[in-house]
Structure 1
Amino acid sequence: MRKILGLSTALLLVIIFVSYSLWTSKRHAGHYLSDLRIQVVLNDGKPGGRGNLLGIQPELFPADYSSPERLHRKLAAYLQQARDQGFINDKTIVVLPEHIGTWLFAVNEKSQFYQATTIEEAMNWLAVSNPMQFANAMLRAKGESRVDDAHIRMKASSMARDYQTVFGGLAKEFGVTLVAGSIVLPGPSVEDGQLQAGNGALYNCSVVFGRDGRPMGQPQRQLFPAWYLSSYIRAGKDAPLNVIDTPAGRLGTLIGSDSWYPRNYARLDEKGAELIAVPAFVAGNGAWSRPWRAEKLPDELHVEPGPLTEGEAWKRLTLAPTRSARAGISVFMRGQFWDQGSAGDSFASRSGQHIPEPPPGVTPKGMKPGHGARLINLWL
């Protein structure tokens, strides 16, 4: 009797294991609809043969990341509309928002993952659907929040590959220089023209792709990550600030809150940066108009006394005047990732002076204020 019970138990465990293995191997292939409209909210200056800074502020959702092809299709639709407006030429520099590449961990997951109501639920499905990869990543995770680290690390190699495929492909397809927002990867580097994920700590980094679709130099690491990410993303305080030669001029990239620090502009000045790209991200629906959390910032960031909103703080600190830079652009993400929204209105500056925006509340028909993709263009 014991032998029969033992065999029955073993058989049941085998059936459960096989069923679980089959379940984890099946991936999402559901119907896909996405809004491809984009609104031109700023077109400053006139074409003069010197190129332009073109900010694409997309509106993205988890389903847009279900495959690299779907993400490419949506971003290509935005760029095609920009081309139709006459905003793309061989000297155009396209700038995308911070973390647009980080969400590539969502590629090729199960339908339950995309249908989750909270980001915590989605991350649970991510781990359950990839048990071996997640367990291996947990063993190698670093920082205080090892689980958050593992969620990125477990898919880092495919994320790096998809990042180059999507954004390098867009740069080549449209013949532009493309600042590909940012992506969080362990020990990122470019080797033999290919972005690679290493085995070290996680860094938030940005890659610029040339008109041939290949990376231009090494990834730019973020020097001062947002405070709420510091438990698993390492600050690249000793990383160089890269300035690269583009058809439109010498370009420097400051990721997110790196654009608040005067010392970073001084460093870019020393390298003769003529153009500054700021891929940025603000978490939370409506956060742009909420009080700025200045208490978590170092004393070196001086602003005028009095309460500030998040948006006012970004505009006071970002794209500060420099000796060498003649123009800059700051581009934010829009969209909703489960219960985590995003906020921010992209803006541009010329010679350190912010360019006035059109009146608020002007949105395409059927689109709510604060929602929808936005396009800003600055002729050089």
Structure 2
Amino acid sequence: MRKLLLLSILGALIAGLATFVGWAERRPPSHYLSDLRSELSTDAGTPGASGNLLLIRPQLFPVDYQSPAHLRLKLAAALDRARAAGLLSPQTLVVLPEHIGTWLIAAGEKTELYQARDRQEVRDWMLLGNPLLAVQVLMQNLDAERLDEALLRMKARRMAADYQQLFSGLAREYRVNLLAGSILLPLPHLENGQLAIGDGPLRTVSLAFGPDGQVLGELYSEAWPQPHDRREPQRLHIGERELLIERDWQPGYPQSRVLTANGEQVSEPLYLRGKLSWPVGGAPRRVELTPVEMQRGQAPGSQLLNLWIAPQ
């Protein structure tokens, strides 16, 4: 009798576990609703053969990262607006904000994750939606910050592939040079023109792509979290022009600026808009991913900031 009872309990536990695993792995289709509006906020300089800088401040929310296709739709809407305004050409450099790629960690997760209010809820739903992955990381008895890092490392290979496929595809489709913003990955490096990862420390990495979709110039990376000391800017060559990209967290959020090599032209600051918390730990508490204060009183949707480059 006791043996039969134990077998019944064991059977119930196995059935319950199988039911949970089935639920955790299920990704039912859901409707994607997002604001695809965009506006040309600034258009400075005089059109000419030297081309232009087009900075995009996309307004992004967790649901925009449900799949790379969703994020592409949001960015393509802004690029379509720019193309209609005559702002895209092979001499254009489109620039996207810092850490636009880091939320790709959330791609393909359960619907509930995209309604999360903070990093704790993001972490919880990621663990619930990936039970085998959860067992691996929980057995390591990690604190919250190291748990975030372990989750990112386990999804990093897919994140790197999604990042390159998405942004190289946009550069090729719209026939522009595109600085793809950044993504947080473990020991990022290039292998035969493809973004790859390693077993080393987390680093923030950014790639640029030419109108043919191929990697343009060298991979640029920096330590995570961002060091406080001033660093050399990224140097990017578009034809005969050299452009410098400076990055910092000084205002309390990640921002970047693009400068001409002679320093005579400086773009407006570029940053993410919308409502995204950091999906991983490591950033100081004072540093927001999407600054609330900078968005007060602004119209919804993505912002386009265009700067025509003066002849050398």
Query: TM-score scaled to structure 2, two decimals?
Result: 0.84
Question: Is 1:59 aligned with 2:23?
Answer: no
Q: How many aligned positions are there?
A: 299
Deviation per residue, 1:41-94 (Å, 9 max, x gap): 110011111011100000011111111111111101100100111111111001
CA distance in structure 1 between the aligned counterparts of 2:45 and 2:23, rounded to whole angstroms = 55
The equivalences for 1:1-380 within 5 A come to: 1-136=1-136, 145-223=145-223, 225-226=225-226, 242-247=234-239, 249-257=241-249, 282=253, 324-329=262-267, 330-337=269-276, 342-343=290-291, 368-369=297-298, 371-380=300-309
Q: Which amino acid aligns with 1:282?
A: Y
Contact 2:36 2:301 in 1 (8 A): no
- 3-state DSSP of counterpart to 2:27: coil
Residue 134 of structure 1, CA deviation: 4.0
CA distance in 1, matches of 2:142, 2:229: 18
Query: Residues 223 and 236 of structure 1 are in contact (CA less than 8 Å); yes or no, is this contact kept in structure 2?
Result: no
Letter in 2 for 1:375: L
SS of aligned partner of 1:212:
coil
Task: From the superposition, tell whether residues 321 and 162 of structure 1 become closer, same or farther in structure 2 (CA, over 3 Å).
Answer: closer
CA contact (8 A) 2:63 2:114 kept: yes
Distance 2:140 2:237 in 1: 37
Contact (CA 8 Å) 1:156, 1:185: kept in 2 or not?
yes
Using CA pairs under 8 Å that are at least 6 residues apart, name the structure with larger relative contact order, 1 or 2.
2
Partner AA of 1:328 in structure 2? V
Aligned CA distance change for structure 1 residues 111 and 219 (closer, same or farther; 3 Å): same
- Give the partner amino acid of 1:249: R
Aligned equivalents of 2:36, 2:158: Cα separation in 1: 26
Residues 57 and 97 of structure 2 are in contact (CA less than 8 Å); yes or no, is this contact kept in structure 1?
yes
Contact 1:51 1:91 in 2 (8 A): yes
Question: What code does the residue aligned with 1:327 have?
Answer: Q
* Residues 130 and 199 of structure 1, relative CA distance in 2, 3 Å threshold: same
Q: Structure 2 regions of 5+ residues with no counterpart?
A: 279-287
The 3-state SS of whatever aligns with 1:74 is helix
1:320 is displaced (CA, Å) by 10
Taking the aligned partners of 1:135 and 1:112, their CA distance within structure 2 comes to 20
Of all paired residues, the percent bearing the same amino acid is 37
Letter in 2 for 1:331: L
Deviation at 1:132, TM superposition (A): 2.4
Distance 2:102 2:9 in 1: 43
Please give the alpha-carbon distance, in whole angstroms, between the structure 2 residues aligned to 1:99 and 1:336: 13
Gaps of 5+ in 1: 227-234, 261-279, 284-313, 347-359, 362-367
Go from structure 1 to structure 2 and tell me whether the alpha carbon gap of 1:223 and 1:255 turns closer, same or farther (over 3 Å shift).
farther
